[in-house]
Chains A and B, each alone.
Chain A
Amino acid sequence: MSAWAVWAMAAPEPPHGATLGGALEMVALGCIAVAVLGLLLVEFVFKSSMARSTYRWTLLLGLFVLPGVALMGTTGHMFESMKTVEACHSCHVMDPFVGDMHDPRSATLAARHYRSGAIPDKQCYACHTGYGIFGTVEAKRDGLRHWLLYVTDTWKDPLTYKGTYPNANCLACHATAPTFTRVDSHKALSTQLANDEMSCFTCHGLPHPARPTRAPTRVTAHP
């Protein structure tokens, strides 16, 4: 197998078509553009010909409503764009993790999932966010914490996952798959797996390089 073929196998195609993040970004930019243009036109071109009440309404729209929508759009865009692998990788602390995921010769779970294309995009977010509204809130809280540790240069090497990784994140995709349900070990440990008393990783391997083999994040962050 050629190196190109291995690389092609290791790099899933990016998602096609419009994304929610992109749409929100366009909405925000559109609102800002309309607001700025509208305010300029209203103030310097149409003010004298407008009724006072209409003028006030357009000011309200340009100064508050459209910026408000733009704020919502940018916030939404930020929320969405922060789910991408690129966003996680923007902190170089993540180099060893993202680099491993992209490594066509890596056997970690993250790399295998990435290669297989089973998770088409937002691969970090997909596995590191619990399901439902609380999962999203926790993810945002984690993200903020990671950002604070990063900007204050207070993180500790090696990075460790705090607490117990929820098996539900794995089971959400795998629980109903025949490759999961036909395994007697899974049936035997169903209660322990559901309660996170045993981890999927124990049998199926580490999601990221083992701590002793992982490149130190500080060296990468501060070359």
Chain B
Amino acid sequence: MNLTRRELLHYFGVTAATGLMGPGCIGWTREEAIPVDSWHKSVCRFCGSGCETRVGLRGGKVVKVEGLQAGWNRGRLCIKGLLNREILYVSDRAQYPMVRKDGQLVRVSWDEALDAAAAGFREAMAQGGPDAVAFYGSGQLFTQESYTANKLFKGGIGTNNVDGNPRLCMASAAFGYKSVFGADEPSGCYDDIEHATLFFVIGANMAECHPVVWERVRDRLRTAPETRVIVVDPRRTPTARDATLHLQIRPGTDVALLNAMAYELLRTGLVDPAFINDFVTFRKGTADSPPLTLEDLRAFLEDYAPEKVANLCGLSSAEIREAARLFGISQAALSFWTMGLNQQTHGVAANRMMMALHLLTGQIGRPGAGPFSLTGQTNAGGGVRDTGSLSHALPAGRVVTKEHDRQDMERLWGLPEGRISPHPGLSAVPLFEAMREGKVRAALVMATNPARSLPNADRYRVGMEKAFLVVSDSIFPTDTAQYADVFLPAAMWAEKEGVLSQSERRYHLVEKLVEPPGEARSDLDILVALGERLGHGALLKARTPEAVWDEWRMVSAGTTYDFSGMTYARLKELPGLTWPCPTEQHPGTCRRYVPGEDPLAKKEGRIDFYARPDGRAIVYLSEQGPFRESLTSDYPMTLTTGRRLEHWHTATLTGRIAQLKGIDIDYLEIHPGDAAVMGVKEGELVQVTSARGTVRLKALPSMRVRPGVVFALMHSTEHLVNAATSDYLDPTSAQPEYKLAAVRVERVKEGT
């Protein structure tokens, strides 16, 4: 072929242009930093926010986790959410069943381990009857797992000794809702955030503990600068930094503050008389106590005028009045709370009063207004509260003390009449006390670490040592596993299939995407296998996640929960569904009790509290009550505990993630003035001593805490903070008082 120089240049030019505009341009894309073979919808397995995720797989492994853009979290996750991809591959994943022989846990087959577990349970029941055994579960189990455990123990074995770690964090909120509205769980949804003009955050460090929900709040503040935020917290937390008004309250005085706000709202007339007249009733103590009037409440609150309680709360009366004014004048007030309000001996009273503020002002049942407690664990709401996996409860709002409810469940579970015990079982702390006393001889502990998370933990470790303990967990060793007689390796998160709920009553399906390590099995498989060996195989007819879910839907039908319309197919397709959802066509309910929104609200008008017999919510006259533990010269300071953004609970998971190992969790925040008086400098070791125990931590002088208050994280893996915390219980909810312990703080001399 003969080419001229001109033709050659022409061809070069065309080739270059084609190269640039063809594959070099149209076909060019940036590379993915982490290549992914397939994406799958899922949910974060950490806190109760319930962030929706998409999980990237490659080579049979989870390689990437992102926020789901179509989810309520709009593509956001926090650092823990991002690290969902790491948790499956941390060191110390439990892989093999083990049985204690000659004091040591040794690897055995599944059959041998399950036989040993069943034998231990049978022996305990032979000695002490069905109430000599117990189940201690977790808000981290899937709904199907908690439901099956509840069924096995209450319906099969015949004991109501079924409780779990949600008792430690959410019980006061659950009892609060049930006593005020007749049904548990919040009435609103996350969409309310975009309509609120006031956020009242009490006892919740949302910026660290529910960070994605808080970012949505901050989005509201960014786009509607007129929105106000009141934060009530003894610490100046990252949440408080966004506050219009931060009430740095003295720990344990929330009821007094909320009563004072109620007093001020009534005094200034910033209440909703029509709402009170139509939808509210007044009581003291219990829901079936004699009805009272608004005037009775007025008279009761005379003792809680702001100037009378200001000193107790450690606030000025002007601050309290301003908080009440902002609440009263807001077009839509949305309150958030969590452990700070729940974990005290006045937890139920504080919850009731928080709800009372909304009822007195009519701030409920419309966009942006309502009381909204946040859940601490992934599935504490759906798995434990909804399925009734607590010692006093039965599924879907039923309780063991009501004959009708028991008969209902006996019929649904195919049990003979009278099978379910009418006596409430042991709640969390009394359960471990009963192990200590030898009354409970065997227990199955699943997906939780009570040896570290219980208050006054050293006391209850004795019980764990004494009882026959079967521990199922995905990590080995944990503090609790050290007391196990049988250890069963469990799959977690995307290694098994199940349903999780979250704070706004939204249920999500978590699909199995990868294989668990070693011989680990799902907790559902473990429960079914144990049930078989204990002779209750016939009771556990539903054995797959989908079959159990379908049974659970049937159990909820016709109740104030009603998940009937949440089929597995819909959960697979949709980014979650909120209940009530009574039909397969129903889109899910955002605001409960609102006619037109909630399919169960049949009456006309603003609201229908249908779970109450008279259709009216209750405002309780709630006393502040005395402190269970007073400050004395021996214990002059107050210890309060909490969490930080990067770690979660007892850090069994997050503590094993390489990226998080450098983040300090073993410190005690102390006011610089108190530190100066003690001669303590930053980084020096201090000893915190309560009437129960001691813990040594590094001092961190900080203006975050108020004088006289010290703060420690519950995560600490090296030091047992819960050796010092208080195990006094709320008399109604039996939730322990982690947030308030009288302590002495001393500088540790070198060499001691």
Contacts and interface: CB of A to CB of B under 8 A. Distances in A.
A199 B215 CA distance: 16
Contacts of A187: 662-663
B33 A196 contact: yes
A91 B662 CA distance: 48
A185 B26 CA distance: 38
A199 B75 CA distance: 11
Interface of A is mostly: helix
Nearest to B76: A205
A112 interface: yes
Interface string A1-22: 1000010000000000000000
Interface string A186-205: 01110110011111011111
A75 interface: no
B75 A202 contact: yes
Contacts of A196: 33
B76 A202 contact: yes
Interface residues of A, number: 37
Contacts of A201: 75
A192 B33 CA distance: 10
Contact of A188 (B69, B226, B662): B662
Residue of A149, A184, A185, A211 with most chain B CB atoms under a 10 A cut-off: A185
A6 B223 CA distance: 9
B66 A163 contact: no
A148 interface: yes
A176 to B, nearest CB: 20
Nearest to A6: B225
A185 B215 CA distance: 15
Given A1-B225, A192-B659, A185 B66 contact: no
Contacts of A198: 82
A211 B66 CA distance: 14
B24 interface: yes
Given A105-B224, A202-B82, A188 B74 contact: no
Nearest to B31: A163
A126 to B, nearest CB: 18
B125 interface: no
Contacts of A185: 78-79, 645-646
A189 B33 CA distance: 15
Contact of A141 (B28, B226, B646, B663): B28
Interface in B11-43: 21, 24-26, 28-34
Contact of A203 (B31, B70, B79, B219): B79
A202 B69 contact: no
A202 B66 contact: yes
A127 interface: no
Given A164-B32, A210-B74, A112 B662 contact: no
Contact of B67 (A1, A104, A192, A202): A202
Interface string B76-93: 111101100000000000
B77 A210 contact: no
B660 interface: yes
Contact of A202 (B28, B81, B223): B81
B6 interface: no
Residue of A106, A144, A191 with most chain B CB atoms under a 10 A cut-off: A144
B69 A203 contact: no
Interface in B53-79: 66-67, 69-70, 74-79
A144 B222 contact: no
B77 A203 contact: yes
A106 B219 CA distance: 8
Given A202-B77, A212-B70, A107 B21 contact: no
Contacts of B223: 104-107
Nearest to B29: A162
Interface in B129-160: none
A210 B70 contact: yes
A149 B28 CA distance: 13
Contacts of A204: 76, 215
Residue of A104, A112, A202 with most chain B CB atoms under a 10 A cut-off: A202
Contacts of B226: 1
Nearest to B75: A206
27 contacts: A104-B223, A105-B223, A105-B224, A138-B30, A141-B24, A141-B25, A145-B26, A145-B28, A163-B29, A164-B30, A164-B31, A164-B32, A184-B663, A185-B646, A187-B662, A188-B663, A189-B82, A197-B34, A198-B82, A199-B66, A202-B67, A203-B77, A203-B215, A205-B74, A206-B69, A210-B74, A211-B70
Given A141-B28, A199-B66, 13 more contacts: A104-B223, A141-B24, A144-B21, A163-B30, A163-B31, A164-B31, A188-B659, A189-B659, A202-B66, A202-B76, A202-B81, A203-B78, A203-B211
